[in-house]
Amino acid sequence: MDLGIRGKRALVCASSKGLGLGCAEALAAAGVDLVMNARGVEALERAAESIRAAYGVNVTTVACDVTTAEGQAQVLGAAGDVDILVTNAGGPPPGMWHDWTRDDFLRALDANMLTPIALMTAIMPGMIDRGWGRVVNITSQSVKAPIPQLGLSNAARTGLTGFVAGTSRQVAQYGVTINNLLPGIHATDRANALDGPVAAKEGIPIEEARARRAATIPARRYGTIEEFGAACAFLCSAHAGFIVGQNILLDGGGTNATI
Ligand code: NAP
């Protein structure tokens, strides 16, 4: 299917690896020029070069921490008038509710709620002026069903979800859509970071921890970044203008709910 977005420009945050990279690749495959971001320069440049070579699109890189005010100023400066915004950043660490301090909460809120809100606030006025825009926020299945040890993530992402629920309905009349993609377990470094401690605690190899977790998912496997990117690119496509303020689970059926 032609996604109808060839020649448009996208800012894809936190995109040198994992789900962000999957989104960047799928948008590039649809002919979209990219601004890619991550903190580590090496992986970012490698990913950008491989996308340029594979798809022939223009890719600008911005190596910075997108959760800081300075980082946001850098990516926004490079992005200019983008048509598509994909927000993403690393997730907060797991832990126990009684150990988290106010500073831990502020860090999580900054990274996973206030950063996407700041980027939307800066970029959407231009989209509204031009009468077209697509925003996709990468959140988590924890928005629909809490993951107890990820309380910082549960809290911050639910806050973002509330903001999007209202705001998406204010900007839709201008041709701008905001939707959230809710990943369940995908085969990325983040999944390894969560499987590693489980393997250590149980005294089993990480492959065994992974296999046990995969067995709890109806699809019996982890998702791929290609599947995730394809869903993101569709939400950013010309065909998705009537999809507004939705929270779309990509979790292999992992969230046990009727609707
Ligand atoms: P990942 O494989 O660890 O990749 C994270 C990417 O983001 C890397 O490119 C990383 O590069 C970049 N990044 C991280 N923090 C950044 C920051 N502050 N500023 C700029 N770039 C940053 O993670 P992932 O699995 O793709 O996860 C992406 C998001 O989805 C996370 O918030 C995660 O919690 C959430 N999620 C993932 C899963 C899953 O199963 N994978 C499930 C639910 C939710 P640098 O390190 O070089 O900056």
d(CA 76, CA 123) in angstroms, rounded, equals 8
Give the mean model confidence (pLDDT) for residues 163-187: 98
Query: For 59-84, what is each residue's pLDDT tens digit?
Result: 999 999 999 999 999 999 999 999 99
Q: Confidence band (pLDDT; 50, 70, 90) for 129?
A: very high
Query: For 178-204, what is each residue's pLDDT tens digit?
Result: 999 999 999 998 888 889 889 999 999
Name the residue with the closest Cα to ligand 1, atom 34.
91
Q: How far is the CA of 255 from the centre of ligand 1 (A)?
A: 21
Residues with CB under 6 A from ligand 1: 14-20, 37-40, 43, 65-67, 88-91, 138, 140, 183, 185-186, 188-191
Q: How far is the CA of 82 from the centre of ligand 1 (A)?
A: 22
CA 142 to ligand 1: nearest atom: 43
Token couple for 72: 């946001």
Token couple for 216: 């709890």
Give the mean model confidence (pLDDT) for residues 232-240: 98
Residue 96 CA to chain centroid, in angstroms?
24
Count, in order, helices (H) and strands (E) of the chain. Answer: 9, 7
Q: Confidence band (pLDDT; 50, 70, 90) for 249?
A: very high
Q: Is the pTM of this model over 0.85?
A: yes
Q: How far is the CA of 15 from the centre of ligand 1 (A)?
A: 8
Query: For 224-233, what is each residue's pLDDT tens digit?
Result: 999 999 999 9
